[in-house]
Amino acid sequence: MKRIHQIYVNGRFVDPHGTETMQLVNPSTREVLGVVTLGDEHDTRDAIAAAKTAYATYDRSTLEERATYLKRLHDAVRARSRDLVEVMIEEFGGTRFFCEDIIRRAIDAFPHATEVMQSFQFVRPAGKATVHMDPLGVVGIITPWNASAAFVCSKLAMALAAGSTAVIKPSELSACQTQILTECFHAAELPPGLFNIVNGRGDVVGTELTRHPDIGKISFTGSTAVGKTIARGAAETMKRVTLELGGKSPNVLLDDADFAQAIPLAVMSAFMNSGQACLAGTRLLVPEGRLDEAKRLLVQAVSAVRVGPPGDAATQIGPLVTQKQYERVQGYIRLGIEEGAELLIGGEGPPPGLEAGYFPRPTVFTGVTNDMRIAREEIFGPVLSVLTFKDDEDAIRIANDTDYGLQAYVSGGDPERAHRVAQRLVAGRVFINGLFDEPHAPFGGFKQSGLGREFGTYGLEAYLEPKAVMAPG
Ligand code: NAD
């Protein structure tokens, strides 16, 4: 059994002042795999003080110094990539394919931030003024459990590239992953205080970060409900906030789309990370006239999805992260039936033989209308809702009729028409005829999917504030 009883403050592993403990459960077996001691407000304030002291000199560091630190972090995380994958599979239950991808992203976050920083214009003219893009002070980083290492690394890398220091509060459910990541960061031998890591509850450590006057910015990824709490709390001290929140992303199949390609892609996008993905395409919009064909292909594609132990290379859906998340997903499957949707495949309960863990059955509902809760609320499990539309205008109307706006997908045979539809969708990213990855492209949401953007130049700018300097001559 793992015992994680220290936090990381001012370049050292230290015993926290907090005494509350929490059990960590393996979602594949429901066995207790560890126990973590949680930090409290006192620990958070110590971490903020260390980051503030470090910031007093780090804000004037050269880009060369920052690049050196980022390179050391990169090398240290890469050296433990195998450990990071294995602990993520064990603690979170992510599939091997997904965990390997996430750890690759975590590693790549450091050279990405370096590259963006090195080509960024930190000083630029504006008429007779000179504008300096200044860092925002100590940054509070708060992250969720569904891709912990990637969120922590990408936010920390950008904060350091901007000239900020950081206090990181990862999800309390990711303590084993956090431990290994912290050991990596420690091995990079950065000056003390540049980053500090406090395991703890959101309503304790997260609230203190949000409240504290010495935090200049919060970079948060998580649920929309918590994002709103943070935005409200941050307003008191006018902290800058970047909020990466939930989604209910539409996937529009135009009537000239090649369904043989588009439907397997739709299933993949809906069920990525066992459905625990903010950008999952969970509302599939199908032209009325092609519904029967879509249903046939959906049954075929979903029947072929392998649910099983997350460590197996062939597994496509693993367990959900916790009992609570499992019950939440089961509740939505029951709700879909009660709301009158037609259960095309899947349903309540675990797949046969997988009763030991929190394994869900990949589920598809047809006959869904956009007023049903299963079409409006983020479920965060492998549950896909299929809706029909009459024409392109109707598809655009239904796709945009949502509180969210993180991601959207379009498939169609005529690229110009698909682009025209994509142009009208209210979403931070739109994928046409495929799934893509571009680290320089901004990532973030419209509407209740968040505030601000991450990655690339847009992501670095979110950690900076313009200061205009004017003088005679
Ligand atoms: P969550 O909002 O419950 O928790 C996220 C983090 O916030 C955790 O570290 C938690 O401890 C902390 N927290 C909780 N209450 C807090 C408070 N009052 N003040 C400050 N911090 C607090 O989210 P989760 O369940 O860990 O993750 C799932 C959610 O994250 C989903 O809604 C998903 O869509 C979203 N998400 C969004 C993105 C994105 O980039 N847009 C990516 C991944 C996940």
Residue nearest to atom 8 of ligand 1 (CA): 171
What does residue 123 show for φ and ψ, rounded to 5 degrees? -125, 130
Query: Is the shortest distance between the CB of 171 and ligand 1 below 6 Å?
Result: yes
Distances (CA, A) of 161 to 110, 135, 280, 328, 411: 9, 9, 30, 39, 37
Whether the pLDDT of residue 144 is over 90: the answer is yes
Q: How far is the CA of 259 from the centre of ligand 1 (A)?
A: 34
Find, among 250, 147, 244, 197, the residue nearest to 46 by Cα.
197
Query: Is the shortest distance between the CB of 172 and ligand 1 below 6 Å?
Result: yes
Supply the DSSP symbol for 272: G
Query: Is the shortest distance between the CB of 229 and ligand 1 below 6 Å?
Result: yes
CA–CA separation, 460 vs 161, rounded Å? 8
466: its two tokens = 């313009």
Report the chain's mean pLDDT, rounded to a whole number.
98
Q: How far is the CA of 169 from the centre of ligand 1 (A)?
A: 11
* Residue entry with tokens 């039936």: 337
As to burial, measured by CB atoms within 10 angstroms (0-12 exposed, 13-18 middle, 19+ buried), residue 270 is buried
Q: How far is the CA of 456 from the centre of ligand 1 (A)?
A: 22
Q: Which atom of ligand 1 is nearest to the CA of 147?
A: 43
| In this structure, CATH architecture of domain 250-432 | 3-Layer(aba) Sandwich (3.40)
Residue nearest to atom 20 of ligand 1 (CA): 206
Query: Is the shortest distance between the CB of 38 and ligand 1 below 6 Å?
Result: no
What does residue 222 show for φ and ψ, rounded to 5 degrees? 165, -155
As to burial, measured by CB atoms within 10 angstroms (0-12 exposed, 13-18 middle, 19+ buried), residue 190 is buried
Q: If you average pLDDT over residues 171-199, what whole number do you get?
A: 98
Q: How far is the CA of 113 from the centre of ligand 1 (A)?
A: 23
Supply the DSSP symbol for 291: H
CA–CA separation, 226 vs 340, rounded Å? 31
CA–CA separation, 412 vs 433, rounded Å? 7
Find, among 290, 297, 283, the residue nearest to 408 by Cα.
283
Query: Is the shortest distance between the CB of 222 and ligand 1 below 6 Å?
Result: yes
Question: β-strand 21-25 against 363-366: which pairing, if any?
Answer: unpaired
- Pocket perturbation via mutation, ligand 1, pick of 223, 243, 248 by most ligand atoms within 8 A of CB: 223
Q: Which atom of ligand 1 is nearest to the CA of 144?
A: 26
The pLDDT value given to residue 250: 98
Cβ atoms of residues 418 and 434 within 8 Å: no
CB atoms within 10 A of CB 315: 20
**Does residue 244 carry a catalytic annotation?**
yes
Per-residue pLDDT tens for 48-91? 999 999 999 999 999 999 999 999 999 999 999 999 999 999 99
Residue nearest to atom 14 of ligand 1 (CA): 202
Cβ atoms of residues 384 and 285 within 8 Å: no
**What's the distance, CA 470 to chain centroid?**
40
Name the residue ranges covered by the structural domains of the chain. Answer: 2-245+447-469, 250-432
- Measured between alpha carbons, how far apart are the two ends of the chain, in Å? 68
Q: Which atom of ligand 1 is nearest to the CA of 171?
A: 9
What does residue 386 show for φ and ψ, rounded to 5 degrees? -105, 125
- Confidence band of 473 (pLDDT split at 50, 70, 90): confident
Cβ atoms of residues 445 and 467 within 8 Å: no
CA–CA separation, 433 vs 442, rounded Å? 19
Q: How far is the CA of 170 from the centre of ligand 1 (A)?
A: 10
Whether the pLDDT of residue 22 is over 90: the answer is yes
- Confidence band of 116 (pLDDT split at 50, 70, 90): very high
Per-residue pLDDT tens for 149-161? 999 999 999 999 9
Q: What percent of the chain has pLDDT over 90?
A: 100
Which residues are bridge partners to 342 per DSSP?
Answer: 366
Q: How far is the CA of 363 from the centre of ligand 1 (A)?
A: 24
Q: Which atom of ligand 1 is nearest to the CA of 172?
A: 11
* Catalytic residue selected from 244, 378, 454, 461: 244
CA–CA separation, 38 vs 174, rounded Å? 12
Distances (CA, A) of 289 to 123, 130, 253, 390: 56, 59, 12, 8
Query: Is the shortest distance between the CB of 206 and ligand 1 below 6 Å?
Result: yes
CA–CA separation, 294 vs 253, rounded Å? 10
Question: β-strand 383-389 against 283-287: which pairing, if any?
Answer: parallel
Q: How far is the CA of 221 from the centre of ligand 1 (A)?
A: 5
Whether the pLDDT of residue 263 is over 90: the answer is yes
**What's the distance, CA 80 to chain centroid?**
22
The pLDDT value given to residue 353: 96
- Please tell me whether residue 451 adopts helix, strand or coil conformation: strand
The pLDDT value given to residue 331: 98
Whether the pLDDT of residue 214 is over 90: the answer is yes
What does residue 384 show for φ and ψ, rounded to 5 degrees? -110, 130
Q: Do domains 2-245+447-469 and 250-432 have the same CATH topology?
A: no
- Please tell me whether residue 309 adopts helix, strand or coil conformation: coil
Which residues are bridge partners to 36 per DSSP?
Answer: 4, 22
Query: Is the shortest distance between the CB of 146 and ligand 1 below 6 Å?
Result: yes
Per-residue pLDDT tens for 379-409? 999 999 999 999 999 999 999 999 999 999 9
Query: Is the shortest distance between the CB of 210 and ligand 1 below 6 Å?
Result: yes
The pLDDT value given to residue 226: 98
Fold of 2-245+447-469: Aldehyde Dehydrogenase; Chain A, domain 1 (3.40.605)
